[in-house]
């Protein structure tokens, strides 16, 4: 399965799609990018006069690129429209803010994938190649 096919199988659409490009994916991890466009609704109220991307949105971006894209790749053709993908745990440390119009790169590294549960080490880098946040994310893919 190539990166274009994986992106088409993502169960998200705008305004809750946080993947612009999937740069690479293999059995060990995934790398992708997203730009937090200034028109995204959450910037209007988080925070007044100094908008930053909420941590929960950064976590979701890392989960979509680093966990879900990788999970779709690992499950492959067993994934159907009836398949379900769910987040089971996160442990993320936030180190730097992400501002409007900032492009980030997410890199994940598979820790394990068994019984359709995937756990990854993830990190998000800003355009200066600085770590914005990092940690672990786990989820499960239920295929029919």
- Digit-coded pLDDT (tens) for 12-27: 999 999 999 999 999 9
Q: In angstroms, how far is CA 100 from the centroid of its own chain?
A: 18
Look up the pTM and report it.
0.95
> Per-residue confidence at 95, pLDDT binned at 50, 70, 90?
very high
**Residue 106 lies in domain:** 3-142
Residue 55 main-chain phi, psi, to 5 deg: -55, -35
> Per-residue confidence at 144, pLDDT binned at 50, 70, 90?
confident
Residues assigned a catalytic role: 46
d(CA 115, CA 121): 18
Give the pair of three-digit tokens for residue 53. Answer: 């991307």
- Digit-coded pLDDT (tens) for 58-85: 999 999 999 999 999 999 878 888 888 9
Q: Are strands 102-114 and 131-142 parallel, antiparallel or unpaired?
A: unpaired
CATH number at residue 108: 3.10.129.10
Given this model, what pLDDT does residue 12 score? 94
| Number of domains comprising the chain | 1
| Mean of the per-residue pLDDT values of the chain | 95
Check whether 1 has a pLDDT greater than 90.
no
E strand or H helix at 131, and its extent?
strand 131-142
């Amino acid at each position: 399965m190539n990166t274009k096919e994986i992106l088409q199988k993502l169960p998200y659409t705008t305004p809750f799609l946080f993947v612009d490009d999937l740069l690479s994916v293999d059995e060990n991890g995934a790398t992708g990018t997203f730009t937090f466009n200034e028109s995204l609704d959450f910037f209007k109220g988080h925070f007044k006069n100094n908008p930053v991307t909420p941590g929960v949105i950064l976590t979701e971006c890392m989960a979509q690129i680093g966990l879900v894209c990788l999970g779709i790749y690992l499950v492959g053709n067993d994934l159907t429209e009836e398949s379900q993908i769910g987040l089971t745990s996160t442990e993320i440390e936030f180190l730097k803010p992400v501002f409007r119009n900032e492009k980030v790169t997410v890199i994940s590294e598979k820790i394990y994938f068994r019984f359709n549960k995937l756990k990854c080490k993830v990190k998000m880098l800003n355009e200066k190649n600085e770590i914005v946040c990092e940690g672990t994310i786990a989820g499960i893919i239920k295929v029919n």
